[in-house]
Structure 1
């Protein structure tokens, strides 16, 4: 059972602490909170007194979290975010008569998840409002942990700490090549064959963890290009400067007559696409129902077939 002084902490104090750390300065935080700077300073001191520890080290130019302060902040952010989302739940339920669920998704899986969520909302027994968030996997998982999202469909290479995960499907790496490239005619490729080719791949997300080990084992060619967007990757492939290396999900909407998608084998490298959420009781019943629905529906979605490309005809 928590000590009585700790139970005297208020949500307002926790909100003040969270905003102060985010702003990094008492003046900016007080302005954002629409209170005076002395009032904010007193609230933080009272919070430290109740906890019996120092949360911040103060200097003329900046604030720094103590080790204990960093641990308290993680839990504070979770409580503050959960509280704010719960208030929006209440507003949505009372004023609009509908449930509210926040869901995150990696862009490459958005088409499948949106289609499945659409089926769920059409068959739901009550009105439902979905709030969507698209971002890289590490961002989505952090927002699930902090309570900003109810769930997220993300790609992982190892189990994310503190979250419950449901495996949905596997997403293998493929090559994107020019249609007149020899690999397009071959129909598939292995890592040794592409060892002397220059690759282009995404610089963030799951690609470094997936592609780098295999590339290091087999690569003999030039250093890979690193890009942030699929449009740039396709442009470099189309111009003949590199072969694209990316998860197959990204290619599901590729409709470019100049490009072909080629399975990459030996070894076949895949990322896990999972549905992640906080373990324990959910904050609303509809979120639980949506998780159960996505758990059953998403693995049933057939993976897009990668067609073998015929060799281009050569005019004589």
Structure 2
């Protein structure tokens, strides 16, 4: 059992732990080589080693296991790593915010979002910005899994992406998306209001390497009924749409992607039997909003969820 005196000593020691300590710890944890990490930090290997030993003393645990030139994270070091990353990112963002507020009289909200939702979400945020001239947004477009990591580590204040029950973050649903087929307007499938998965099995199909099919399958029992045999797997929307326009294939994309970027030659149809849906959600940090500006932005988007929801 810890005494009040020992707790006070621990607090005094941790008060000496600086952002510099965390920066050096994170750099070495990423590089796992003292000389290379020291070169990156513009230090000597001896200075870096001294700082790491001091960090271990202040925390009260060994963070790295050293065997000659080989360096690995200890069990405690691996457990501390995401906490240190979150703290350093939060501090960096807070310092940048203080500069913006003092010099530019603006409050910054950092938002990660999957590209397909941009045409639904950005007009709302622009409306909010018109109402609050001191509000500034920084946007990062990412696949859902990378976005979740950035929310956890506080690189962004919140994220908007495909709902994932395994994320371990608070979520709030904004709208519903579904898989659709993108095709040329002269394609025979256009004569019907929808296309079945069985029909798609007779045609060459393209979809994205990341996102879309994979994201929509998260937590969807219906997705397990479908096996997509892709003739083409691409990384970018422009490539996928060019393949379709040139007649190589039809494409499977989220409806939001189809809505946002279709050209004059292409259209889309719902895919049925089964219809596969995903929730587009706000991912929030477990630590709560970082600033009042972030809190206001989250509240605004939640209030607007009824306006942007378009259930298929």
TM-score range, shorter chain: 0.7 to 0.9
Pick the aligned partner of 1:191 from 197, 200, 212. 197
Contact 1:237 1:243 in 2 (8 A): yes
1:47-66 to structure 2, matched below 5 A, reads 47-59=55-67, 62-66=70-74
TM-score between the two structures when normalised by the length of structure 1: 0.86
Instruction: Summarize the Cα distance change of 1:255–1:10 in structure 2 as closer, same or farther, 3 Å threshold.
Output: closer
Q: Which residue of 2 aligns with 1:135?
A: 142
2:62 counterpart of 1:92: no
Q: 2:102 aligns to what SS in structure 1?
A: helix
Pick the aligned partner of 1:291 from 289, 294, 298. 298
1:90-169 to structure 2, matched below 5 A, reads 90-124=98-132, 127-161=134-168, 163-169=169-175
Contact 2:163 2:171 in 1 (8 A): no
Structure 1 gaps of 5+ residues are 306-316
Q: Which residue of 2 aligns with 1:27?
A: 35
Contact 1:92 1:100 in 2 (8 A): yes
Aligned length: 302
Q: Which residue of 1 aligns with 2:4?
A: none
Distance apart, 1:13 and its partner CA: 1.0
Pick the aligned partner of 1:82 from 87, 90, 98. 90
Contact 1:81 1:147 in 2 (8 A): yes
- Determine the C-alpha separation between the residues in 2 that align with 1:236 and 1:62: 48
Contact 1:173 1:268 in 2 (8 A): yes
- Determine the C-alpha separation between the residues in 2 that align with 1:195 and 1:179: 20
Distance apart, 1:141 and its partner CA: 1.2
- CA RMSD, Structure 1 to Structure 2 (Å): 2.5
Q: Which residue of 2 aligns with 1:259?
A: 266
Instruction: Summarize the Cα distance change of 1:91–1:203 in structure 2 as closer, same or farther, 3 Å threshold.
Output: same
Pick the aligned partner of 1:173 from 165, 179, 187. 179
Contact 1:155 1:206 in 2 (8 A): no
